[in-house]
Structure 1
Amino acid sequence: MQRSKGARVLKNSQKVVRRKASAITIDDVAAHAGVSAMTVSRVINGHAGVREGNRERVMRSVLALDYRPNLAASALAAAQHTCIALIYTNPSSSYLRELLVGALRGSTRAAAQLVIATWDELGTQQRREAARQLSNSVAGVILPPPLCESQDIVDTFVTAGIPVVAIASSQFSDRLSCVRIDDRQASHDMVSHLIAYGHARIGYITGDPNQTASAHRWQGYRDALADAGIGYDDTLVQPGYFTYRSGLEAAERLLTLPQPPSAIFASNDDMASAVVSVAHRRGLEVPGDLSVVGFDDTSAATMVWPELTTLHQPVAEMADTAVDILLRAIRHPASSARATVDHVLPHQLVTRASVSRPLLAL
């Protein structure tokens, strides 16, 4: 009898929460990635000085092998009783890498076992069922976007008594802790930076409408324009979904306007990179003819030319902090540590080579 695709996908997702009979070692990860065990250790513990390509290969191997960091023997017993999960669905590879670095660093330091699960291929009902099953195996859950915005998923865990920490979400409540930056202020800072260079016609590419951060970043864009006395123009705002392809499409629409913008602010680095690509294809120089800025400061920001001015969102630190908040709630359930918290980390505007004064202002 042939199994349905849905049943097969759900079975595959269930495998993530089971410990493998023969544990994967750091040497296995090193061999799979084609690097040394020392390099794997440095990546997992968040150390600097690792080449970007090696870091990417290690994180892919960690996912492919379902590797869970080895814990010191003295901490193993505690770790076995503190198993937490990081669940993700289809983030950009650079964003995912930062999440994993932070979560692995935090769980290793605190002697906790970390389960990494991907629900990319699961439908709504399958995700709800996977959440119910995972509730029987873990003591706490970390949800990055977009899963942290799903009320169904959060409800399933909370109803089962599982503490949840959301990353990059503003949906803080007495049921859900959050670790985030002030997206509205960060976006305001970037638009003010462009205005200081003399830009008044600034295009904006929004993020995924299902994520609360998108609305806050768009509002920060509007706030900065209003504070500078610049009118809001709907034609300069185009929809995006935090994907490279949506950035390409939005950039084409903006740059074919009768009066195109002199600068474009994309609400993540993947879309900003796409804007640079479209500009080059249309014969525009960045930043001479068009200034382009992004958001997140992922590796995508430094993989294009010119490198992007962007807003640094400390994704790895956010994941590390989420682990800390979650473990305090798990290990001290009778204390105030169990109370939910809204932890806001600072952002930073990183200036590179993608911004200059508009041509008419020269």
Structure 2
Amino acid sequence: MRVFGRQAESAAAFHRHNQELFEAGSRAQFVSGLIQPALMFVANLGYVVVAVAGGLRVASGALTIGEVQAFVQYARTFSGPLSNVGSLSGLVQAGIASSERVAELLAVPEEAPDPLHPVRPAARGHVAFHDVSFRHASGPPVIEHLSLEVRPGQRAAVVGPTGAGKTTLVNLLMRFHEVTGGRITLDGVDLTAMTRADLRSVVGMVPQDTWLFDGTIADNIAYGATRPTAEQVARAARLACVDRPLDTVIGEDGGGLSAGERQLIAIARAFLADPAVLVLDEATSSVDTRTEARVLRAMRQLSEGRTCFVIAHRPAAISGADVVISMTAPERDDRNPRIGVGDA
């Protein structure tokens, strides 16, 4: 707000929304506070009507005092629950609003369950897309009729402008999204025929947005493997050019580290996991050029003998690729993205 000089506009917008909230809250409190007194007035009015009418009937000899007393007690008994309902009107309205939100959450489609008899991948790294199409629940197609093959040990570079669907492509490989048409196979096995845990145990990913947790840097790196030794963690840190001491304690989401340092820790985690298929989504976008060159050399060593998908804008990150997947963002009058696949 200060950089763009928006203090006055932001303060005015806050005051406007705050005033709307004040007026809505005042009306709600007034109506809620009016209900119970209104019900009590009706109940007391009924009591007066019963007492007056009963007194006149007693005077004429049509009723006895006991019968009138019974009518008065019935009127009191009937009006009590109505007063209680009036006092709970605010809670009832809040409950209705909450139930609508719960209904929206329950209406979200569930994740497709894993197969009852899953097939475990052979972990050779042969990835193939067979006439794959994908679109979000409400929106234009993101990918249509894509077929490509990446053999074990090959490097596939995914290039294209921002918003062309590069990250969506690897999200389909990781089954973060489900394809809406066609199928994807790993070593000849359809991804839907294996469990998500088995799939992600052989596919390592360095996302564009890194995720770290409270603990030491060594703990965050070791998260990518099962019971790694201290030597293995230190070697992964060296390959990823992590210069900070491994016993440095960091905060939630990497608090205290720069974006580049967080990215290097995520790369070291992928090094330690040693997967059969490696996915690098803008893995060096937040590091300087000198560090990038060092990390890219380490990545080339890591990708030796394994399938590697590299998403990057910088030419240095995709040099030496065997397959280039070029994705073009849709034009204004064309909602379908264009995808080209070719050998490097």
Q: TM-score, normalised by structure 2?
A: 0.30
Higher relative contact order (CA closer than 8 Å, sequence separation 6+) = 2
Q: Return the index of the structure with the highest Cα Rg.
A: 2
TM-score (norm 1): 0.29
